[in-house]
Chains A and B, each alone.
Chain A
């Protein structure tokens, strides 16, 4: 029988090793899954993890890595602020969508005027939209004690409905011959979020993600806000004793994470996606939750986890195309990553003992 014994102090070694072990176990279990589906497991794993970077079509897929990773990193960094304090914003997807709607609305209102001020205004609008959408569950929790997990998640579906209404109504492209979706912002020079270095996938969202990672690291390590967030997560009563106002912290964290998710939506709609369409929400907001935990809620960990997750996205698409793996298998594969991570995570705080139980 295996028992778990609480460690006197959480193990640093295990905390570092956990993500790597989780990735390895995911490869093993994923390989078994692919084998059960009748595919060559080694080839499938190679297609997912290796080919996007170094395979025959790497020239196309490599820039995609940054394009996919940037929103994940940006959103996950924001989420990590709240998660560390035990504030569970599950609705980043909705904040991402609303941020994109607001940014697109600003751009479309100005169309076709050109101005250097337009892009910054869109950045502001995107952040503000996400912030306000994130504040709704925050206020509901502080004012009425509503569980933010439920309210923030439900607001995702409201945001999706809002997106559909906008794409079909107010923001629809008047020259689009009745097709749903807005004008293509990528073809509107003042609003376009173009690659900074052609062929690299590096757009302004990538820059924002990197800034967010560094800023979050500074906040956690050196700033009072980060200390209060960590303290609230570690010992809520001690945090109140230290002068933290829990309600205010909820609003700050929900607002912060909402604003970063909104920013991610803004960079996406102005660049890679180009337009608001009914299917604009691609699940970045949900995947970012996995990224945040995979990165151990640590900014640089999130950076690495975001790149890894982007890799499995791109590799997963490759595997779908080249090996005809079903999309569900890829999703299971990504889910396994979080499953193994959380499972192995127990070992940082507990020590397994094998042997007969002694009371």
Chain B
């Protein structure tokens, strides 16, 4: 390893009630791809925000290139050669690529000169991008390229990347990795944040593992067992979900030519979706964000109604029915967004139990609410799914992401649905909670329910799904057995119509 570019010593940052970073020390070498590993809430975000000048540490110091480094704001960090690609893009849909890049620069050159620079840099790094295109029409992978290009134009020496692959297809991930390796060859250091152990093993040279705000280990990921790293992240060993092979039973949910116009301006229309889900089966639906996942979930949950025969449950045509009528027949759903969609943040868990449980758990009698029964139901979910909370009276907002997700999924599972549709069941959830949720989904299928898991996490689908299909621009590919599918085949199914050819 070469000498250090950035050295952190004893960085601490406390927020009310939580020590986000506690005495963190490590260093990133020149031309090194350094992984920062940890569960959600381990303090990764606070740490990189400190390095990028968005957060001021309570104590500790940083040295960049032999000089003391204590950026008061991101502009200062950028001036010192530190650039960052955020997990959530900050781009304007209505502006072109070049205009978006110009907005993020201190002294942008003229638009034409900038466009030439963008074209040149994108060619030399194998990131095909037309500077004149409007960002609103770009895929998630292309949007990320805009962010990366914005950083590259500043010729950074340290590039921070926050969960960059969460929105990419495997092929797009390959393109990204090639770019990052090329940057390393040029001497740029990369601080790479992720919790995907596979990709970290593939190309990081050093890794620092955080847990509860502290450094709990450093290792060379190329020589360390993924399982050992995972256990360090979680701080305990946990069982991978397991289940005996299931025999698919009778058809439960059938989609016949399911089509629907986009409900909002930037939504995706659903196009001619055909699939049948059987009892005891988990159908995995993969796809890159924004390809119709939300719309498909809404069409299944009943929030968006379609022609009656497009959706049927055990032979009953339910396309025209609203959410509660579908629940009464045994179709339950859990949408992606926990806060404000699957649950009302300011309401108590009891009230949130009422939200979907009213029908099947008999929480309503002649229009009047049975709060006692709702509280019992909420308590049952809390107990059965190990939701960490003081009690059912707590507001949903006060729960951590993983705990609220366990509550949301548990609430549906305890209604004993005949068919359950979940969208991104473990998104932003810590590994232990994710394992609980996946096991619960497997158990539900084993009890004979048909389960549809819509997810952008391919590892998750490979772990629990029996059959796999891909959602691309509102179209669903024909399902194929999960077992035996290679990552490359999956990538091709996902990428469908995406343009993946590289420039140059």
- Assembled-state Cα–Cα distance A225/B366 (Å): 11
**Is the beta-carbon distance between B369 and A223 smaller than 8 angstroms?**
yes
Q: Which residue of B lies closest to A227 (CB)?
A: B369
Bound-state CA distance A231–B346 (Å) is: 9
In this assembly, does B356 line the interface, its C-beta being within 8 Å of a C-beta of chain A? yes
Contact across chains for A9 and B343 when beta carbons are under 8 A apart: no
Residue pairs across A and B with Cβ atoms less than 8 A apart, 14 shown, are A8-B395, A222-B368, A223-B367, A224-B368, A231-B344, A234-B344, A234-B346, A235-B343, A241-B342, A241-B356, A242-B324, A243-B322, A243-B327, A245-B322
| CB <8 Å contact, A238 and B355 | yes
In the assembled complex, the CB of B50 is this many whole angstroms from the nearest CB of chain A, namely 10
B56 partner residues in chain A, CB cutoff 8 A: 358-359
- Contact B340–A238 (Cβ < 8 Å): yes
List chain B positions with a Cβ less than 8 A from chain A. 16, 54-56, 301-303, 322-324, 327, 333, 335, 337, 340-347, 351, 354-356, 358, 364, 367-369, 371, 394-395, 397-398
How far apart are the CA atoms of A243 and B322 in the complex, in Å?
Answer: 6
CA distance A238 to B335 in the complex (A): 10
Q: CB distance B368 to A241 under 8 Å?
A: no
Instruction: Name A's B-contacting residues (CB within 8 A).
Output: 5, 8-10, 222-225, 227, 230-231, 234-235, 237-243, 245, 358-359
* B355 close to A359 (CB less than 8 A): no
Report yes or no: A242 in contact with B341, Cβ–Cβ below 8 A: no
Closest to A225 in B: B367
CA of A241 to CA of B341, assembled, Å: 7
- The smallest beta-carbon distance between A157 and chain B, in angstroms, is 34
A237 with B346: CB separation less than 8 A: no
- The answer to whether A231 touches B355, judged by C-beta atoms less than 8 angstroms apart, is yes
Cβ distance B290 to chain A, nearest Cβ, rounded Å: 17
Residues of B within 8 A of A242 (CB): 323-324, 355-356, 358
Contact, CB under 8 Å: A5 / B355: no
| Shortest CB distance B344–A (Å) | 4
Of A5, A223, A231, A241, which one neighbours B303 at CB under 8 angstroms? A241
Q: Is the beta-carbon distance between A223 and B342 smaller than 8 angstroms?
A: no
The 4 closest A-B pairs by CB, nearest first: A243-B324, A235-B344, A243-B323, A237-B341
In the bound complex, how far is the Cα of B354 from the Cα of A227, in angstroms? 9
Q: Is the CB of B16 within 8 A of A238?
A: no
Interchain CB contact under 8 A, A8 and B368 = no
**A222:B369 contact, CB within 8 angstroms:** yes
A221 to chain B, nearest CB (A): 8
Residues of B within 8 A of A5 (CB): 16
Supply 15 further A-B pairs (C-beta < 8 A) apart from A231-B355, A241-B341. Answer: A10-B346, A224-B364, A224-B367, A225-B367, A227-B351, A231-B351, A234-B346, A237-B337, A237-B341, A238-B341, A239-B344, A241-B303, A242-B355, A243-B327, A359-B54
Residue in contact with A241 in the complex, picked from B16, B301, B351, B371, CB distance below 8 Å: B301
| A9 touching B395, Cβ below 8 Å | yes
User: Which residues of chain A have C-beta atoms less than 8 A from B342's C-beta?
Assistant: 238, 241
- Bound together, the chains give a CA A237 to CA B367 distance in angstroms of 22
Closest residue of chain A to B303 (Cβ to Cβ) is: A240
Complex CA–CA separation, A186 to B302 (angstroms): 54
Considering the complex, give the chain B residue whose CB is closest to the CB of A358: B56
Bound complex: CA A233 to CA B185 (Å): 54
Q: In whole angstroms, how far apart are the Cα atoms of A224 and B364 in the complex?
A: 8
Max chain B CB contacts within 10 Å: which of A10, A231, A237?
Answer: A237
| Most chain B CB neighbours (cut-off 10 Å) among A9, A222, A241 | A241
In the complex, chain B residues whose CB is within 8 Å of the CB of A9: 394-395, 397-398
Contact B358 A231 (CB under 8 A): no
Supposing A8-B398, A10-B346 touch, asked if A224 and B323 sit within 8 A by C-beta, the answer is no
B393 nearest CB neighbor, chain A only: A9
Contacts of B341 in A (CB 8 A): 235, 237-238, 241
- Residue in chain A with minimal CB distance to B341: A237
Asked if A237 contacts B340 (CB within 8 A), the reply is yes
Closest residue of chain A to B333 (Cβ to Cβ) is: A241
The residue on A at minimum CB distance from B339 is: A235
Measured CB to CB, the closest approach of chain A to B293, in angstroms, equals 15
Which of A224, A238, A241, A358 lies in contact with B369, CB distance below 8 A? A224
Within the assembled complex, what's the spacing in Å between the Cα atoms of A231 and B371? 15
Question: A10–B395 Cα gap in the complex (Å)?
Answer: 9
Residues of A within 8 A of B344 (CB): 231, 234-235, 238-239
Q: Taking each of A9, A10, A223, A235, which has the highest tally of chain B beta carbons within 10 Å of its own beta carbon?
A: A235
How far, in whole Å, are A253 and B351 apart by their CA atoms in the complex? 21
A225 contact set on B, CB distance < 8 A: 367
| Min CB–CB distance A340 → chain B (angstroms) | 24
B340 nearest in chain A by CB position: A235
Task: Give the Cβ gap from B363 to chain A, nearest Cβ, in Å.
Answer: 10
